[in-house]
Amino acid sequence: MMRWLITLLLLLSSTALIQAQNPRPGATPEEPLGEIPTPGGRFGQFPVEITAQGETRYEGGLAIARNHVVIHYGDVAIYSDYAQYNPETHEVLVTGRVRIYRGDYAFVADRAVYNLETKELHAADFAGNRLPFQITGDSLTSYQSNEYQIYDGTFTTSDSSQPDYYVRAKGIRIYPGDRIIFTNATVYVKEIPVFWFPYLYQSLDNQFLLLVSPGYNSNYGFYEVSDIGFPIYDKVNAILHLNVYSMRGPALGIDVNYDLGQEETSTGQPDSMRLVSFFLEDSDANLNQTNLDREQISAGRYRITFQSRTFLTDDTSLVVDVTKLSDPYILEDFYPYEFQVNPQPDSYVELIKTGDAFALSGFVRYQVNNFFQTTERLPEVSWNVVRTPLFNWPIFYEATTSAGWYRLAQPFGTFFNPGMNPDYSAFRFDTFHQLSYPNTYFGFLSIVPRVGFRTTYYSRTGIVTEADPALGIPFGSVIYEPAGTRYVFNAGIEASFKLSHIYEGVQAHWLGLDGLLHVIQPYADYAWVSTPNISPGNILQFDRFLPSTYLSPIEFPEFTAIDSIAHLSVLRLGVQNKFLTRRDNATWSWLTIDTFLDVNFKNPYELTYYSNLQAQIRFNPVPWLYFTEYAQIPTFEKQNFWEFNTAMVWTVTPSINLTLLHSYLNHNPLEPRTNSLFLQTFFRINSNWGFSILESYDQTTGRLGVQQYQIHRDLSSWVGTLGFYENNNGGGKTTYGLQLILTLKAIPKYGFPVNLSPGL
C-alpha cells in the first residue's frame, strides 16, 4: 500500500488528475467504493476524474480501472466496463458497453479510443444518436472535434429497434450542427432497397424526403410517383421526381429550393429561389377528362418554373417569376390543385428599391406562353410615393408615376383560333398626384379631404373591335389613331368617428371572453372623377377594368384600371363594429363586422344606383373556432343579387375536426347561379384508428362533385392511409382513383416522410 501511495505522489506533476475508487478492507465487490485521487493535476480547463467499482491500478504509466468505470472531463462523460488512461498522450482506451457523451451527441460502442485533449475518437461497432437521428456503424473515426467519419454506417430518424426506413452508406461524414455527407448510400424501406445515391448531402437544417405513391386514377391508369428529396448543399435542397403512368408513360422532373434567412445574408434580408421542372412523353396527350373541347396537342409535354427573390442591398431586391409550359392543359392534367388557384401563371422580372416613403421599380413582362393572353410590359418603370407629410406641413402628399411600352398579346397558335382578336401596342406615360388634409374636429370627428390630378400620355390611341362569331364578326381589328394626352381631376372626402364602451362583466372563458370592448366606427367616403378629354373607348386598353361581384375601389391609386378611367361620382357609406377582449396580456380581436354600400350618382362600372349591402364578418373567439363571412344583400334595386361566401374551421373535440365552405350567388346578370358546399372532416376513433371525409356538393344541379374517403391507421413510426376518391365534372365524365399514403409521424425539426399519394 505504501508503494502505491509513493507512486501517486511522484505523479502529481503530470498533466491530468484522475480519481479512482479502491476497495476498502472488507468491502464486497457490489458496494460503491470511495474515490481515491490518482496521478494528476490538470490539463486545459478541467480536471480528469475516473471512478470505478472494481479493481484500479497504475501499471506501465497507465491508470487502469475495471467494473462500472466512469470518466469525466469537461462536457465529456465516458462509461465502460474497462478503461485505461495514458496521462502522457491523454488517450482513454475503453471496452465493454462503452458509452461516450459529449454535448448533444451520444455514442455507444464495443471498443473505443478517445483523446481528451484533441477530441480524436476511434470506435468499433458503435451506435449513436443526436435527436432525432440514430446512427450505427462498423467503425468511427474523429480526427477533430467538429467532424466524424463513419464506415459502413446506417442513418435513420426512427426511434425503433427495428427502423422502418434507413440509409446505409459505405461512408458517412458528420459535421455537428452543420451537415451530414453520405457516399455510396442506399435508401431502405424495411429491408427493401429503394434508391441508390453515389453522394448525398444532408443539411441539419433541411429535410430529407422520400415520397413513393402507388395507386390508380382513371386519368393516369396505374401509376407510381416517386419523389426523392435531398439537400444539395447548405440551404439548397432538391426533389427528384421519377413517375410512371400506365396510360401516359414515364415522367421525370427535379425541383430545387434555396432559402437563406435574413441573419445569413450580407444585406440582412432573406433570399430565396425555387426551380420546378416536369417532363413527360405523353402517350395519350389528348385524353380529355373535362367537359370542354380541347385543341390537339403534341406528346412532348413539360413545365419549367423559376422563382427567386434576391436582395442586392437591404432596400433593393430582384424578383424573378417565369413559367414555361408546353401547352395550356398540362397544369390541369398533372398539377390540378395549382391549376385551381392559378390556371394561367404569370412571367415577369421586377427590380424594386424601397425607401421610407417611396418605391422605385422596373418591371418586365413577356408572353412566355403564346396560348395565354398577356399584357406585355417591355419594360415599365414606376415610382410610388405613399401618403407622407409635405414639408412638415399638415398636408399629406402621395403619387404614382409609370412609363413603359405596352403590348396586349392575344393567344396564338393551334390552341385557339389565331387572329380572332388583334394584338395592339403603345407607349404610355402616366402620372398621378394627390394632396390630402387629415384633421380631427370637435375632438372626435375625423375628416380627410383630398384633391388630385392625373395625366396620361399615349403614343397612339385607337379603337378595337373584337371577334364575335355570334354577330357575324369572325375576326377583330384595331384602328390606330394619333397620339393623345388624357387629363383627369379627382376630389373626395372621408369622414369617420369612433364610439366605444367597456363591458367588464362579460366573462365567458369557453368563448375566450375576459371583458369586452365594443368599438363602433361609422364612416363615409365620397369620390369624384372628372370627365376625361379622351373617352375609354378611344384608348387602347392595357390596364382595364374587369367586372367582379365585389365592389371596386373608388379612390386613386387603389383603382388600378388606368385605361378605363371615366367620370365617377360615388358615395360609400358604412359602419364597422369591433369587439375586443383580453388574452395573453394583449388585446384580441374577438369579432369584426364591416358593413357598407355605395350610392352611385355616376358609376360606369356598376349597373344600379344603389349597390348591394355588403358585409364582411370575421369571428375568431377561441383557437379552436374560426369563422368568416362575405355577404351581399339586395337593397333598393331589382337588379341587385344575393351572395354569401362562408368559411368555418372548427375543432369540435380533440378527436373531431370540421372544415366547412359554402358559396351562394343568385340573380347576378354577369355570373351563373352558384350554390356549392365543401365539407372536410376528420374523426379520431381511438389512438390507432381515424377516418376522414371530403365532399363537394353543388346544390344547383344536385351533383356530388368531389368525394374522398380515407381510413387512417397508426403504424408505430408511420401513419398509414387508404383512400378512395371520385370527381364528377357534371359533363358526364368522372375521374376516380385509389390512393395509399404512408406518412412519418411528426419530428421536431427533421423527417424522412414517405407519402403514397399522387397529390390529386
Please report how many Cα atoms fall inside a 13 Å half-sphere around the Cα of residue 2, on the Cβ side. 0
Among 26-40, 164-178, 430-444, 635-649, the range of highest mean pLDDT? 430-444
CA-to-CA dists, residue 59 to 7, 65, 223, angstroms: 10, 11, 69
**What percent of the chain has a predicted confidence (pLDDT) above 90?**
30
Lowest mean pLDDT among 63-72, 113-122, 617-626: 113-122
Distance, in Å, from the CA atom of 726 to the CA atom of 709, rounded to the nearest integer, reads 9
pLDDT, residue 88, reads 82
pLDDT, residue 6, reads 28
CA-to-CA dists, residue 760 to 131, 158, 265, 735, angstroms: 34, 28, 37, 10
Stretch 269-273: mean pLDDT, rounded? 75
Distance, in Å, from the CA atom of 114 to the CA atom of 720, rounded to the nearest integer, reads 43
Distance, in Å, from the CA atom of 81 to the CA atom of 65, rounded to the nearest integer, reads 8
pLDDT, residue 180, reads 77
- State which amino acid sits at residue 727: N
Stretch 126-146: mean pLDDT, rounded? 66
Stretch 271-291: mean pLDDT, rounded? 85
Report CA 706 to chain centroid distance, whole Å: 25
Instruction: Report yes or no: 739 and 757 within 8 Å, Cβ to Cβ.
Output: yes
Residue 60 Ramachandran class (φ > 0 left, ψ -120 to 50 alpha, else beta): left
pLDDT band for position 261 (cuts 50, 70, 90): low
Which tens digit of pLDDT belongs to each residue from 677-694?
Answer: 999 898 888 878 888 998
Question: Higher confidence at residue 757 or residue 471?
Answer: 471
Residues paired with 592 in a beta bridge? 578, 618
Stretch 443-449: mean pLDDT, rounded? 93
Task: Verify cis geometry, omega within 30 degrees of 0, for the bond prior to 438.
Answer: no
pLDDT, residue 748, reads 30
Q: Which three cell numbers stand for residue 504?
A: 367588464
pLDDT, residue 584, reads 81
CA-to-CA dists, residue 77 to 52, 98, 140, 147, angstroms: 13, 11, 18, 19
**What percent of the chain has a predicted confidence (pLDDT) above 70?**
81
Look at residue 730 and tell me whether its pLDDT is greater than 70.
no
Look at residue 395 and tell me whether its pLDDT is greater than 90.
yes
Q: Which three cell numbers stand for residue 264?
A: 445569413
Does 2-203 carry CATH code 2.60.450.10? yes
pLDDT band for position 187 (cuts 50, 70, 90): confident
3-state DSSP call for residue 263? helix
Distance, in Å, from the CA atom of 446 to the CA atom of 448, rounded to the nearest integer, reads 7
pLDDT, residue 204, reads 60
Question: Higher confidence at residue 213 or residue 376?
Answer: 376
pLDDT, residue 157, reads 65
Distance, in Å, from the CA atom of 663 to the CA atom of 528, rounded to the nearest integer, reads 34
Residues paired with 674 in a beta bridge? 665
Distance, in Å, from the CA atom of 397 to the CA atom of 378, rounded to the nearest integer, reads 29
Q: Which three cell numbers stand for residue 546?
A: 374587369
Among 131-145, 470-484, 535-549, the range of highest mean pLDDT? 535-549
pLDDT, residue 111, reads 83
Which tens digit of pLDDT belongs to each residue from 20-56?
Answer: 333 333 333 333 323 333 433 444 556 778 888 887 7
Q: 718-728 and 689-698: which strand pairing?
A: unpaired
Look at residue 514 and tell me whether its pLDDT is greater than 70.
yes
Question: Higher confidence at residue 297 or residue 731?
Answer: 297
pLDDT, residue 148, reads 76
pLDDT, residue 751, reads 34
Distance, in Å, from the CA atom of 320 to the CA atom of 332, rounded to the nearest integer, reads 24
pLDDT band for position 14 (cuts 50, 70, 90): very low
pLDDT band for position 486 (cuts 50, 70, 90): very high
* Spatial CB neighbours of 256, under 8 Å, sequence gap ≥ 6: 232, 236, 237, 238, 273, 274, 275
pLDDT, residue 93, reads 87
Distance, in Å, from the CA atom of 406 to the CA atom of 363, rounded to the nearest integer, reads 11
Q: Mean pLDDT across the chain, nearest whole number?
A: 80
User: Is pTM, for the whole model, over 0.85?
Assistant: no
Phi/psi for 10 (5° steps) reads -65, -25
Q: Which three cell numbers stand for residue 80?
A: 465502460
pLDDT band for position 301 (cuts 50, 70, 90): very high
Lowest mean pLDDT among 93-97, 627-631, 643-647, 734-738: 734-738
Distance, in Å, from the CA atom of 756 to the CA atom of 693, rounded to the nearest integer, reads 18
Question: Higher confidence at residue 291 or residue 699?
Answer: 699
Integer distance in angstroms from the first to the last C-alpha of the chain?
A: 80
- Encode 506-545: b = buried (16+ Cβ within 10 Å), e = exposed: eeeeeebbeebbbeebebbbbbbbbebebebebbbbbbeb
Look at residue 231 and tell me whether its pLDDT is greater than 90.
no
Q: Which three cell numbers stand for residue 651?
A: 375543432
pLDDT band for position 750 (cuts 50, 70, 90): very low
Question: Higher confidence at residue 73 or residue 248?
Answer: 248
Report CA 517 to chain centroid distance, whole Å: 35
Stretch 533-555: mean pLDDT, rounded? 89
pLDDT, residue 184, reads 84
pLDDT, residue 171, reads 82
pLDDT band for position 662 (cuts 50, 70, 90): very high
